[in-house]
Amino acid sequence: METAQENTFSIDGHEFYFINEPDLCKNTKIGIFEHIRGLSIEIAAKTKDAKILRKNNVLDRYNTKGVVTLRFELEDIFRNDGIDRKFEVESNTILHSSYLTTYWDGLCYGEFFGVVKIKRNLIQIIGNWEGDKIFPINIQLYYDEDTLDWSKYIFTTEEELIVAPSEKVHRIDFKNGLTRFPETFERFVNLEMLYIGSYYNQDTQYNLELIPQWINKFKNLNTLVVSSANLETLPDQIGELAQLTHLHIDAPIKQIPDGIVRLPRLEILTLSYCNLELIPEQVDLPKLTSLNLKNNQLKTLPVAIFNQPCLKFLNLEDNPWEYLSPEFEKIPNLELELDYKIKFFDYDYKGADGLGTITWDDDVFYASGDSALMKSISDYWKNALPRKFQDDLTVLLKKALGFDFISKEDYQEVGNHRFGGLPDLPKDWEYPRFGENWREGKESNCYEFIGQINCAKVSHLQDYLPKSGMLYFFLSTIHEVYGGSNAAKVLFFDGDIKHLGSATKWNFTEEDYFETTSDIPYEGYKVNPYTFADLPDFYAVTSNKYILKNSTEGFKNALLEDDLGYEINELFEPFQKQDIAINSYGFSQHEYPEHVAAIGQRGNPMDWIILLKVPAVKDFHFGDAGDLFFLIHKSDLAKRNFNNVFCTMYSS
């Protein structure tokens, strides 16, 4: 940077001086940095007229130090054998750029309108700040282009590359696609990264139909991404790019060169949304950690892939698999449809006790056998649409147990139904705890109490829960649910309620819990049980086709191909309950909770039920006002074994 006298920074006619003061956590710097697409300009300046500028509503009223900072990120800047561009800025947004914006701090609320000019050694920012008032901004800053690290700059246009010296070109990203490889590219022998097409958008197709054989001239290339192209073949020469660590191809290719599966440094290989029909048998990728083969035409896969020593992630979704070796199940992160896991792997549920499953009466979970319950929704069949599919809908109706909130808990009764507050546990039980508590004098954390159910008092309403005893529901922390671990603890006491101690014996403070800010995480309420018939929400039925196992083809087709699901959801919405419930359905935009449980714990989704659904009611709010689910395998419920209850949640 040249002498300070040549640099100017004025706002509303008041002079600022450029600063680099660590105590202000501000500095002025110009450079090309990792994780920034283009040139980064960060400017910090300070004025001696802060008091005047605050009074004139130029500086923010809290800006007592008189410091203003701004940041620009500019791409497509290379012209005429160097930097030479003019950018128009409106409302803090740089025109001609899809995402790069300006950032200002220290001024009163408003927006910048003007131009940014950048040349080989000079930056000029000229315009107006428009808020409650309009005032001019004029910045002139000299810098030394020769100090820039061009190895990190990403070239985004052919116009830049035509004039750029070959030694400066290390990274290219044509995010809007490319119709052909210009032969002038051959000279970029330092190229390390090449992106062509939209990495995240398979909906837009580009016209690139050929990758040239001379791609092997890019000896230093470590990342090659070709997305949404019209390629039908790949050149063998890609297999000669020995420095490749990341290869992503998304194009209608049917096969890949053998050399690709023998690249010595390749760590991430993505061949998704292609038309691949086979993978070469001989695979030798010693560094491979991630392989994505989603959405192809693969019917089987060579076992050699499993033998890659570093492979931790494998996506096999959306392929017409006919056979997969059971070895693939051992890969730590395997993404594959549940139907295929059940078909090819030993995916039977082993039971909470590890002794396998026992038979259960499946009819008790459904509403069709309860004439009074079915009569309660008889009016809904009068509409022509549900009447047409009445048998299909009846098969899906569950006999759910809901709970209405009555009043706040006063703890005068021991062993009643209760949600929130604290539990009435057997007198000889300790309150359940988990983990290590970092607070002084606290060895572990208390589970959050969700609720208790007196089974004897709901035995006349259903036939799937125990006929007597107490069920207690606890949650360690919502973060454990997000982390994919089993955060639930469900305890069952099969004894007389006279052996219970009142919840008033528990005197916890917020320090006893992992993350709560209250001595009791959720306020306690008394509740009344009732039964209701529940239908699934068909929004995500395409991701949960197993639920239609007993449905007619006409009903399946209407749900999967037409808007029948939306119409049914709307018609039946008035009778679907949003209360705390047992054996109900749960809403999801993706897999239903039963599906999630089967993925995490094995077995068939139809063999899992929601033992408890807790929506966003009263003090219960999980995630973004989401629903918390406790799920149990029907065999474990028949055994009265609650040691492997699975916990998940849905949140928008």
The mean pLDDT of the chain is 91
The band of 3, judged by pLDDT with boundaries at 50, 70 and 90, is very low
Among residues of the chain, what percentage have pLDDT more than 90?
73
The top-scoring range by mean pLDDT among 227-236, 289-298, 473-482, 517-526 is 289-298
What is the mean pLDDT of the segment spanning 128-157? Answer: 93
- Residue 4 predicted with pLDDT over 50: no
Residue 245: predicted pLDDT: 98
Give the integer Cα–Cα distance in Å for 636 and 405: 29
Beta-strand relationship, 418-419 and 448-454: antiparallel
The band of 2, judged by pLDDT with boundaries at 50, 70 and 90, is very low
- Residue 347 predicted with pLDDT over 50: yes
Give the integer Cα–Cα distance in Å for 13 and 129: 13
**CA 309 to the chain's CA centroid:** 28
Give the integer Cα–Cα distance in Å for 449 and 642: 16
Residue 582: predicted pLDDT: 98
Residues 619-636 have pLDDT tens digits of 898 887 789 999 999 999
Give the integer Cα–Cα distance in Å for 512 and 89: 54
- 645: closest CA among 422, 490, 509? 490
Q: What single-letter amino acid sits at 27?
A: N
The band of 377, judged by pLDDT with boundaries at 50, 70 and 90, is confident
Q: Could you tell me if 254 and 231 are in contact, meaning their C-beta atoms sit under 8 angstroms apart? A: no
Residue 178: predicted pLDDT: 79
Residue 24: predicted pLDDT: 54
Higher pLDDT, 571 or 363: 363
Spell out where 310-373 has E strands.
313-315, 333-335
What is the mean pLDDT of the segment spanning 349-374? Answer: 95
Backbone angles phi, psi at 112, to 5 degrees: -95, 135
Higher pLDDT, 544 or 34: 544
- Beta-bridged to residue 154, according to DSSP, are 171
The band of 1, judged by pLDDT with boundaries at 50, 70 and 90, is very low
Residue 432: predicted pLDDT: 97
- Beta-bridged to residue 497, according to DSSP, are none
Residue 376: predicted pLDDT: 87
Residue 573: predicted pLDDT: 81
Residues 310-337 have pLDDT tens digits of 999 999 999 999 999 999 999 999 999 9
- The DSSP result for 112-144, as a single string, is EEEEEEE-SSEEEEEEEEEESSEEEEEEEEE--
- Match 């919502």 to its residue by tokens: 478
Please enumerate in sequence order all residues whose Cβ is within 8 A of that of 165, keeping only pairs 6 or more positions apart, or say none: 81
Residue 312: predicted pLDDT: 97
What is the mean pLDDT of the segment spanning 282-307? Answer: 96
The top-scoring range by mean pLDDT among 142-146, 198-202, 450-454 is 450-454
Please enumerate in sequence order all residues whose Cβ is within 8 A of that of 594, keeping only pairs 6 or more positions apart, or say none: 605, 606, 608, 609, 610, 631
Q: Could you tell me if 298 and 275 are in contact, meaning their C-beta atoms sit under 8 angstroms apart? A: no
- Residue 81 predicted with pLDDT over 90: no
Residues 497-547 have pLDDT tens digits of 999 999 999 999 999 999 888 899 999 999 999 999 999 999 999 899 999
What is the mean pLDDT of the segment spanning 55-78? Answer: 92
Q: What single-letter amino acid sits at 472?
A: Y
Residues 431-461 have pLDDT tens digits of 999 999 999 889 999 999 999 999 999 999 9
Residues 404-414 have pLDDT tens digits of 999 999 999 99
Domain architecture of the chain: domains with CATH: 4-149 (no CATH), 151-344 (3.80.10.10), 362-401+531-650 (no CATH), 411-526 (no CATH)
What contacts 24+ positions apart, CB below 8 Å, involve 12-16? 12/53, 12/56, 12/58, 12/135, 12/136, 13/136, 14/47, 14/49, 14/52, 14/53, 14/58, 15/47, 15/49, 16/45, 16/46, 16/47, 16/68
Burial of 396-406, coded b for 16+ CB within 10 Å and e otherwise, reads bbbbbbbbeee
The band of 23, judged by pLDDT with boundaries at 50, 70 and 90, is low
